[in-house]
């Protein structure tokens, strides 16, 4: 079973570009989770890198849109993004150095972060960034 499933009412921001990127994020989280379940370390490394690449790209997209629209919540939002990117790159470094493995607890952390960030922090930008 997938770790993350898209539920329109819960996750939609009404900004198509962001919703599509969030769906892609869910796909990449689920792909990583599958590799974690299968305990395939090479696959885990590849999918972890794929996920973090897209997280960075997605945050850049949101911040660019917020800048273009003069969104007042940008600075607070950027801080949340920066914290997650730092956490992700720490995990990536330790994983590739052989100092840690990606296990269920890491996946739960990522899922919980998205489950909070998208409905609580992203959704409010909908009216300002709307299509
Ligand atoms: Fe965000
Ligand atoms: Fe987002």
CATH number for domain 15-129, candidates 1.20.910.10, 2.60.120.380, 3.40.640.10, 1.20.120.50? 1.20.120.50
Give residue limits of the domains in the chain. Answer: 15-129
Token digits of residue 63: 């911040």
* For the CA of 85, the nearest ligand: 1
> How far, in Å, from the CA of 70 to the mean position of ligand 2?
17
Residue-level pLDDT, tens digit, the chain, 131 residues: 699 999 999 999 999 999 999 999 999 999 999 999 999 999 999 999 999 999 999 999 999 999 999 999 999 999 999 999 999 999 999 999 999 999 999 999 999 999 999 999 999 999 999 87
> How far, in Å, from the CA of 84 to the mean position of ligand 2?
12
Q: How many CB atoms lie within 10 A of CB 116?
A: 12
> How far, in Å, from the CA of 26 to the mean position of ligand 1?
14
Q: What DSSP designation does 99 have? A: S
8 A C-beta contact, residue 59 and residue 40: no
pTM for this prediction = 0.96
Nearest Cα neighbor of 28 from 7, 2, 65 is: 2
> How far, in Å, from the CA of 6 to the mean position of ligand 1?
16
């Amino acid at each position: 079973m997938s770790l993350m499933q898209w539920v329109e009412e819960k996750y939609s921001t009404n900004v198509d570009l962001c919703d599509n990127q969030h769906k892609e994020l869910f796909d990449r989280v689920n792909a990583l989770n599958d590799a974690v379940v299968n305990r395939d370390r090479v696959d885990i490394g590849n999918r972890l890198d794929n996920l973090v690449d897209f997280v960075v790209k997605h945050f850049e997209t949101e911040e660019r849109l917020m800048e273009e629209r003069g969104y007042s919540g940008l600075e607070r939002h950027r801080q949340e993004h920066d914290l997650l990117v730092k956490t992700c790159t720490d995990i990536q470094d330790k994983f590739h150095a052989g100092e840690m493995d990606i296990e269920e607890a890491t996946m739960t952390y990522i899922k919980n972060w998205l489950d909070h960030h998208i409905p609580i922090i992203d959704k409010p930008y909908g009216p300002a960034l709307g299509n």
